[in-house]
A and B are shown apart, each in its own frame.
Chain A
Amino acid sequence: MKSVIETKDLTKKFGELTAVERLSISVKPGEVFGFLGPNGAGKTTTIRMLCALIKPTQGSARVAGYTLGSEDDKIRRNVGILTESPGLYDRLSAERNLDFFAQLYSIEDVAGKVAQYLKMLGLWDRRHEAVGTFSKGMRQKLAIARALLHEPDVLFLDEPTSGLDPEAARLVHDFLEGLKREGRTIFITTHNLDEADRLCDRIAVFNRELLALDTPSALKLQLYGRAVVFHLTQPGEQFVERVTAFSFVESAEASENRILVRLDDPEVQNPALVRALVEAGAEIQFVGEIRKSLEDVYLQLLTNENETLST
Chain B
Amino acid sequence: MRLIWVILRKDWAEVFKNRFVMFTVAFLPLILTLLPIIGLAVGGNETDMGDLEELGSAFNLEGLCAGVTDAECLQIFIVSQYMMLFMLIPLIIPITIASYSIVGEKTTRTLEPVLATPISTFQLLIGKALAAAIPAIVATWLGYFIFVIGISIVSAGPIVVERILAPEWLLAVFVLGPLLSVAAVSVAVMVSSRANDPRVAEQLSMLLLLPLMGLFIAQVAGLVLVDAKLILWFALALVVIDAGLLGFATQLFERETILTRWK
Contacts and interface: CB of A to CB of B under 8 A. Distances in A.
Interface residues of B, number: 24
B113 A146 contact: yes
Given A48-B259, A54-B255, A54-B259, A92 B14 contact: yes
B256 interface: yes
Closest 7 pairs between A and B when the two form their complex, measured CB to CB: A104-B117, A85-B109, A91-B17, A87-B110, A103-B6, A54-B256, A87-B109
A124 to B, nearest CB: 21
Given A54-B256, A91-B14, A104 B118 contact: yes
20 contacts: A53-B112, A73-B120, A76-B117, A76-B118, A81-B116, A83-B112, A87-B108, A88-B108, A89-B108, A90-B108, A91-B18, A96-B10, A100-B6, A101-B113, A101-B117, A104-B3, A104-B114, A104-B118, A104-B119, A143-B113
A194 B93 CA distance: 51
A101 B10 CA distance: 10
B117 A105 contact: yes
Contacts, number: 70
B115 interface: yes
A282 interface: no
Nearest to B258: A53
A77 B113 contact: no
B116 A96 contact: no
A114 interface: no
B66 interface: no
Nearest to A130: B17
B14 A87 contact: no
A89 B14 contact: yes
Contacts of B260: 14, 54
Contacts of B13: 92, 96
Given A88-B108, A89-B110, 7 more contacts: A53-B112, A87-B111, A88-B110, A91-B17, A92-B10, A100-B6, A103-B6
Interface string A70-84: 000100110101011
A73 B116 CA distance: 9
Interface of A: 14, 48, 51, 53-55, 73, 76-77, 79, 81, 83-85, 87-92, 96, 100-101, 103-106, 143, 146-147
* Most B Cβ at <10 Å: residue of A84, A91, A92: A91
Interface of B: 3, 6, 10, 13-14, 17-18, 108-120, 255-256, 259-260
B64 to A, nearest CB: 48
B118 A73 contact: yes
Nearest to B112: A83
B80 to A, nearest CB: 42
Contacts of B6: 100, 103-104
B101 to A, nearest CB: 11
B74 to A, nearest CB: 48
A75 to B, nearest CB: 9
* Most A Cβ at <10 Å: residue of B3, B113, B120: B113
Contacts of B109: 83-85, 87
Contact of B255 (A53, A85, A92): A53
Contacts of B256: 53-55
A184 B78 CA distance: 70
B259 A81 contact: no
Contacts of B113: 81, 83, 87, 101, 143, 146-147
Nearest to A73: B118
Contacts of A103: 3, 6
Contacts of B110: 87-89
A54 B119 CA distance: 15
Nearest to A156: B116
A304 B141 CA distance: 69
